[in-house]
Structure 1
Amino acid sequence: MSGAESTIPAYMKYWGKAKKEPDGEGADYHLLPYHCLDVAAVADVWLKASPSLLKKITGQLGVETEIARQFMLFFILLHDLGKFDTRFQHFRADIHQSLQGGDWWFEEDPSYYSHGSCGYKQFCEEFEPNAAMKAVAGHHGFVDVSFDYYEPEADDELIELDVQARKEWVQFCLDFCQLDEIPKIGEVPLLAGLCSVSDWIGSSITNFTIDQSLDLTDYYQRALPRAAEALKDSGMIESIQGSGFGFLFPEYHPRGIQCLLADLPLDAGLTIVEADTGAGKTEFALAYASSLIQAGLADGIVFGLPTQATANGLFDRIGSAANILFPDAQATLAHGKSHYLVADESGFLHQSKKRAFLGSVSVATIDQILMGVLGIKHQFVRSFGTRKSVLILDEIHSFDPYMMALIEQVLKGQHEAYSSVILLSATLPNQIKQQLLGCYQGVSESQDYPLVSHTDLSGKTNEYSLSGLNSPNTKKTVNTELWRSNDCLPDSEQLQEIYNWVQQGAMVGVICNTVADAQRLYRQVSLSCVEFPVDLFHARYTAADRVRIENQVLTNYGKNATRQGRLLISTQVVEQSLDLDFDILISQIAPIEYLMQRMGRLWRHDRDGTELCPRSDAVDKPLFITLIPTAEIKPNQGPDSLKKHYGGSGFVYQSIRWLYRTEQYLYENSELAFPDCYRSAIKYVHGLEPHVGEPKALTQLSEAFELKGEGSHYTARQISAMQSKPLNDVDPRCALLTREGEMSVSVVLFNKKGGLWHGGNFAEQADRERSLISLAPKHAKGKKCAEYYCYIAVIGEDIQYNEMGFIREDLSEELKVGR
């Protein structure tokens, strides 16, 4: 070895990035120290451009801001420590030989060398275990700590060079960050995501530098401008242009709960907003979130909703607000079929669902957010996106115990990261509210309604109501009726009443609790040859058909519809967040909070003296009709009989006592005054003590239901804490982990000629998913395709699919729908 070579630090003899194929343009590889500096430069620029991000990290560490920055850069510089290893270097033997010579022996490892997991093991052996090091070592998805680490089968000289390079690189990083020793800081919730995303951006600015003599500090200074430009181009660093209700909605005056915005503290914390449907909760949340961002407490907004339909509807609604807040940013949408709705997927934020959370304004289905607390590769990128933002979850009352347990894990993660959450609901039972506030150590004591509860990071809770506030709070009265029928579907006389209303120009909706019941009713009405339009909407359509039908429903029943008499038969997909406006609604029985959500689609907009199409005079007040069984529950009725009493509705909602009490409440209240009735109705149905005269068997069933819920809650917590090898984040089974029960199966539909039902190339994911439906395994037919985790089914041979969507085999025979 020459004298010149001996002065080169050991770590300068390792490559970090290499071109897949030599292109004759410049160097074919990038030295590892330069790559690490590229990534650190991205993180450095990001932390300086985002005071809120650095403030959160500083709060977590309990140190001064500059020290927090130094700690983060130190560990990010070590993210590829495992590449200082002969096994990684030999992935490109030609480069390995040019950097370290060829006069040595090395036996290739038959197993794939993971530089992330091995890098963490090397750090632990050569220094000591460190949670922050584990976070950065897992930047490619996760760190596997379950295997036994061993040195490479190679000459001692090579092994010694690897060890020397790693130790020298760690010392350089300490000196570079002006640290005396390796920080012992424990887990930092935001570090893994910051490192992983910085690695993506840092890799994109690779300038393939092989000069081993460059001064690393000079190189870093030259990398900073490239990092800043790349971050700006990514769309992740945007400045908010203003905040508050007046800035976002200058043409409107605050009403109801919106008048409370000025009283809320500009402190990170958990905010629960309880207000009736149509009260402007979404606008409230946007305005408050923008104020928190302006105050330097967050970088962006992430909206989470229960379903694709609600996410799609909100995405359209908040687009203009997003443009006002962040004119240079593009809002992102993340759910299983979101790429059909966002035309441009070329940008960094649109290239995967996990990246969608990294922008300034994102809308997602709840499953995409819950993946941030599950054993899925790159789950920390999703959680990083929500934790650097204000997370807003709508319809928070609508989740079962399993999903609620995962939501609690999300909230606890937000709390640990010094981040804010806003939860929205019209009908939140008190016990669930207390459970949610407990994630921030808060407690609610007020029974006012509407109500805004805010718990700060220390657990202090303040509550704000409209009592004593001179603010207009719109009231609405809904007339209610109970219709009895054998199967909780309208009988012939009741159907004729519905037909009469529609023929008088009324916009009427019928909401069923199961797809099968919706299809039964639609088939019956269709065979009646009515002379008015009838629509069917549920979740068991292909992705392409569902988007098309959803848009038609919004056009035909939304705020600006022409209102010429129309009937919509649907499932629960219409009860949340969709801006629909019916004159009359008929619904199968459900727990009172779900019925009240559906009532929110009644007389949603004031049409008197406005430019909107007027209402039919078929009814002069909002009318909501609940379908219940013909038979009444008897005091001595046994539990087995009670389980079957409400048919499919009992199967869907599980708690027979909730359904029974809802029926009793509606029997006693033929007129509901909103918003005053919310608290009393929820308390009546969800009270823990048995009611006087209530069948004893209901208490038995309720106790069994509560026990099952506790089990689901525990299962979700256990799954969230699992440390086993995670699923790949593009595996379609990931989203299924966010829901309890039997995993559904993806079925791709083909026509009899062998083409995709909606056309395209089966090998292309976007084309494949346009023709995809999710079914229970017992309904999945056709040929199994292991490569794409799906079944291939031919319509008319394997399964039945038509304008009513997918039809079960037994239902197809019942409805006499031939193949």
Structure 2
Amino acid sequence: MEFEDAGEVSVDLQIWGKSRGLDEERYPLVCHLLDAAAAMRILWRDVVSAGMRRWLARQMEVTVDHAGRLLEFWAGLHDIGKITPSFQRQVSVPHGYPLSPDDRKVGHDVAAHLWLASALQQAGYADGRRTPVARLVAQLLGGHHGCFHEVDPGKVRLEKRPYLGIGNGLWDEQRTATLKTVQSVLGSPEPPPQIGRDAAVLACGLIILADWLASQIPFIKRRLKHRPVSGDLASLRSFFRGSLAEAPKLVADAGLMRLRLRGGSFEQEFPFPPNALQAGIAEKLPGLVTGPGLLMIAAPMGTGKTETAFHAARIIGDVAGTSGIYVALPTMATADQMYRRLSEYLGRRSPDPAALTLLHGMAWLSPIYSMLEGKEQAEDAGEVSSDDEWLRTAVTEWLLGAKRGLLAPAAVGTIDQALLAVLPVRHNVLRMLGLAHKTVIIDEVHAFSPYMRKLLAILLSWLGQLGAPVVLLSATLPRHVAQELSAAYLGRDGNAAPPDLEQTYPSWTYVQRDMPKPVTEAVPVPEKDRRELAVSLRPLTIREGDLVDRLPALRTELQPLVEEGGCAAVICTTVAQAQETYRALRGWFADLAEAGHEPPELRLLHSRFPAQQREKITNKVIAAFGKNGKRAKPSVLVATQVIEQSLDVDFDLVISDLAPMELLLQRAGRGHRHKGNDKSRPGWAATPRLVVLTAPGGDTPRIPEAWKYVYPHASLIRAQRLLTKQGADPISIPDHVQGMVDSANPGDGIGPEDPLLEGFESAEIERIGANLVELQAADMLGIDTPESLKHLHRITDREVSEELVSTRFDADSVRVLPCFVDQDGTYRLGAADGPSFPQPNEQGRFTRAQRAAVMRHTIPLRAKLVEGRGEANKPPEEWGKEPHLQNLVLLPHRVAENGQIETVCIRDQVFLLDSEQGLLIEKK
């Protein structure tokens, strides 16, 4: 395709594209378009992975070089909708351009979509075999603000354009001149024969990235000095050469690059010899990999799955042509720990310094971002020029937060950051882009609810289609879950037969879309690594009001620890029960002290401590019970599920409330975890042992309501009956694990006739029904899979924000700020004599340190617990412009004249921040 030079109508440099932050100057639109094209050329050359470049080229049925030139051209058209009266009149309309009182206000992204559909057809874009190429390219360009639009440009007649805010006459002439000029400057690339909707998603993500890079105010100010004096083709070609010269630094300064990892054996990558799992994958996986694939690893706790995943990701990534890593974890705490491990690995294996980001809601409080402390100018350094308020917010988040962070060459974060790519939120295509050119490692898959697992299946279908390798890690992986996830990656819909997996435990399975069948390899377990886990069942007493009395059982089980030393973990189902258990043990230990016996140390850890206090407690727990912990004194830790996945800790004894079978096995892995501690264990703890606090009633257990609220009733019945059936026989690790996990997790196909649920059939029906509700919610909220995607606008919804959707089912949460109000009305943080609330500067802004000081005192809480909150629970008015502070829920504790702290009441809930136990919540 070749247009004649646009000499008939020169580009009008009065048509402005950027104004914000430019000191009353206007940046010509065509200059910004050429800047974006220049940024795209460097992104394609230096950042986009080889695998993604090949994949996009195949989807367009062109060469890799041609695909890059097309993306440059499209990036050079993304803002062409700004040549409209509705946009230009925001600041100043160039002289002579017609205006009408009937002009509607239309977003320039929508205007680009409407106009380009017909303009690209006139430029030679024909319909492909599967998709209307011109309309699809117009739609992806109209989505450059992160949201695709459902409009049919074919129904928009020329005479209607003025009434849509697009304008005709001189407006149309300028749009055409700009299109022809950009095309000529960029070498007039031929239209693609074809482009799929999945390729349009990635193309849109790349164009958003190029636009954001080229929209940074410091860059625009530098380019303003070189803006052309004329809109003729020669001048604009010269300007583009200047933009192209600056673009490599622009991209590099943003921290964007390809991650390179040195090749080598496992022994070269890690400073220790491989175990059986690691050696098997290192030896056999290279012979299986011919392209992107899915590797699933199911192995016991403490078998080095993380190092195995790093090594495997490098092997698959090298063949698939990816150039980055994202490690997804279930919690913020696990992500924080993984950040350090991946950083050490990259430090050894990457020849170039590579940006490594940490991604979760509180990542900005992490010490790794402390270099921003006191450097508020860093927030302005990357400020973007845009006349759309929401875009300024989004870009700021990209530069310093999650939306930018997922585009870094390496990243660690929660699974939520990845699942947002398959929810219909604005800029999800940018998240998809960030994942698609990486190898994605997802840990602790067994911890996912049906809702999260369904979203994960949608994500896997996209990653499989886009050619991104995935490594899934799990301590225990039920067969039906492994089949479901592998089918999703292979692109099989729910009606197709799932892949036949020959699962053993421990094992690993590898699948590719072009493989005839999955390959599963059993992992031999040396005799020295086998364990016989003794399990003791201790029925509890349930008092009036459904209160669980653990103390009698705990006194019996912990007596040897009191007499001979050692350490134990007591894991409770709810925070309130953990607090109650802590108080009961504290009373017993106080009695011991009064009787002249030295009591064990007692610690409490759960999610309802203020953030900084929880961090301090966690660090002390790791120091005491971690791999090289100081275990000299007898100690007991009372905790909730937070130690299930978050901490690498080792106890002589684990005592746990009844829980689903796979979680009990996970918790048992917190006992006798590190062989280096075996010599120091007391005699009573010579062998691994798990004590399960069960419901009373024997074979017809009466499960406490609080336990059924957290876990499915049927799962608890199955676990208790499986353990009862096991009797005094120990559980052989790993031989018994897969069978027990599969028996406890039959999927939704067995139905209420399961013999393990005899007498509790209604509980199974309830479980299946609850699962279906979660699956339907994920189906309704999640985006279409690539195989079922018919309309690109279904990918996003402009009415849906990240605050309105959840990656976890029924997990609507808020952050509460317990604070203290003294007699003169001063609000204080942390304690009655703590620091007062921070005050903004003259510009109404807070420093990062001030924001962090507040957030470190906050606690995550289910939103239902603070329903009915009133004016007293709203943050100060001056916090209203701070994204991190504006939605906090205050829990103001009044301090009486005598120093007494008053509780906080919200509807029927009573709150009290206790310095030792965290936030206490009771009903009135």
Distance in 2 (alpha carbons) for counterparts of 1:655 and 1:57: 48
Match of 2:650 in 1: 581
The CA RMSD measured in Å over matched residues stands at 3.1
2:887 partner letter: Y
Deviations 1:731-786 (A, max 9, x none): 6x25x521222622332332213134485637755444323223234421442459
Aligned residue among 29, 37, 55 for 2:26: 29
SS at match of 1:808: strand
Match of 1:792 in 2: 890
Would you say how many aligned residue pairs link Structure 1 and Structure 2? 781
Distance in 2 (alpha carbons) for counterparts of 1:370 and 1:52: 22
Distance in 2 (alpha carbons) for counterparts of 1:11 and 1:602: 73
- 1:445 deviates by 2.4
Q: Are 1:47 and 2:13 an aligned pair?
A: no
Match of 2:356 in 1: 331
Q: Are 1:190 and 2:206 an aligned pair?
A: no
Match of 1:808 in 2: 921
- What is the correspondence of 1:512-531 to structure 2 with a 5 Å cutoff? 512-528=572-588, 529=590, 531=599
- 1:125 deviates by 5.1
Q: Are 1:672 and 2:731 an aligned pair?
A: yes
Distance in 2 (alpha carbons) for counterparts of 1:180 and 1:691: 63
SS at match of 1:53: helix
Match of 1:256 in 2: 276
Deviations 1:254-304 (A, max 9, x none): 112111223113320111111111111111111111223334521111111
Match of 1:535 in 2: 603
Distance in 1 (alpha carbons) for counterparts of 2:165 and 2:771: 59
2:274 partner letter: P
Structure 2: segments with no counterpart, 5+ residues: 1-5, 122-133, 373-377, 383-397, 491-497, 543-547, 593-598, 784-793, 840-844, 881-885, 894-901, 905-910
Q: Are 1:475 and 2:530 an aligned pair?
A: yes
Q: Are 1:618 and 2:709 an aligned pair?
A: no
Match of 1:179 in 2: 189
Distance in 2 (alpha carbons) for counterparts of 1:165 and 1:183: 27
2:260 partner letter: I
Deviations 1:656-702 (A, max 9, x none): 25533444335415312212221111122224377786454423321
SS at match of 1:534: strand
Deviations 1:547-593 (A, max 9, x none): 23222222222111111221111111111152111111000011111
2:856 partner letter: R
Q: Is the 8 A contact 2:11 2:181 kept in 1?
A: no
Distance in 1 (alpha carbons) for counterparts of 2:610 and 2:874: 18
Q: Is the 8 A contact 2:61 2:192 kept in 1?
A: no
Match of 2:487 in 1: 438
Match of 2:436 in 1: 387
Q: Is the 8 A contact 2:103 2:165 kept in 1?
A: no
Q: Is the 8 A contact 2:335 2:413 kept in 1?
A: yes
Q: Are 1:211 and 2:229 an aligned pair?
A: yes
2:115 partner letter: Q
Q: Is the 8 A contact 1:105 1:155 kept in 2?
A: no
Q: Is the 8 A contact 1:402 1:712 kept in 2?
A: yes
Deviations 1:97-124 (A, max 9, x none): xxx326855559785x421122212223
Distance in 1 (alpha carbons) for counterparts of 2:114 and 2:537: 66
Residues 21 and 13 (structure 1), Cα distance of their counterparts in 2 relative to 1, 3 Å cut: closer
- 1:472 deviates by 8.3
Q: Are 1:568 and 2:632 an aligned pair?
A: no
Distance in 2 (alpha carbons) for counterparts of 1:656 and 1:103: 71
Aligned residue among 549, 553, 578 for 2:621: 553
The TM-score, its normalising length taken from structure 2, stands at 0.78
Deviations 1:370-409 (A, max 9, x none): 1111122212222211111111111111111111111111
1:211 partner letter: V
Aligned residue among 364, 367, 372 for 2:416: 367
SS at match of 1:737: coil
Pick which of 326-335 and 60-69 moved more. Answer: 60-69
Structure 1: segments with no counterpart, 5+ residues: 635-641, 814-819
Aligned residue among 225, 230, 254 for 2:250: 230
Distance in 2 (alpha carbons) for counterparts of 1:578 and 1:527: 27
- What is the correspondence of 1:435-474 to structure 2 with a 5 Å cutoff? 435-441=484-490, 443-458=499-514, 460-466=516-522, 474=529
Distance in 2 (alpha carbons) for counterparts of 1:695 and 1:371: 36
The TM-score, its normalising length taken from structure 1, stands at 0.88
Aligned residue among 746, 749, 770 for 2:856: 770
- 1:12 deviates by 4.3
Q: Is the 8 A contact 1:121 1:145 kept in 2?
A: no
Q: Is the 8 A contact 2:73 2:183 kept in 1?
A: yes
- What is the correspondence of 1:642-791 to structure 2 with a 5 Å cutoff? 645-665=703-723, 667-668=725-726, 670-687=729-746, 688=750, 694=756, 696-721=758-783, 725-726=797-798, 733-734=803-804, 737-741=806-810, 743-752=812-821, 753-757=826-830, 761=838, 764=846, 765-780=851-866, 781=869, 782-784=872-874, 787=880, 788-791=886-889
Distance in 2 (alpha carbons) for counterparts of 1:405 and 1:559: 35
- What is the correspondence of 1:351-362 to structure 2 with a 5 Å cutoff? 351-362=400-411
Distance in 1 (alpha carbons) for counterparts of 2:305 and 2:820: 44
Aligned residue among 600, 621, 630 for 2:696: 630
- 1:424 deviates by 0.6
Match of 1:169 in 2: 178
SS at match of 1:235: coil
- 1:727 deviates by 5.7
Aligned residue among 93, 99, 109 for 1:116: 109
Distance in 2 (alpha carbons) for counterparts of 1:561 and 1:806: 28
Match of 1:638 in 2: none
- 1:648 deviates by 2.1
Q: Is the 8 A contact 1:248 1:324 kept in 2?
A: no
Aligned residue among 639, 643, 665 for 1:596: 665
Q: Is the 8 A contact 1:533 1:567 kept in 2?
A: yes
Distance in 1 (alpha carbons) for counterparts of 2:724 and 2:759: 21
- 1:21 deviates by 4.8
Distance in 1 (alpha carbons) for counterparts of 2:639 and 2:666: 14
Q: Are 1:281 and 2:290 an aligned pair?
A: no
1:645 partner letter: I
- 1:61 deviates by 3.3
Pick which of 549-558 and 411-420 moved more. Answer: 549-558
1:588 partner letter: D
SS at match of 2:89: helix
Pick which of 529-538 and 331-340 moved more. Answer: 529-538
Deviations 1:124-180 (A, max 9, x none): 354566233322322222134369986457999x73222122223333444435334
Distance in 1 (alpha carbons) for counterparts of 2:410 and 2:795: 31
Distance in 2 (alpha carbons) for counterparts of 1:473 and 1:151: 77
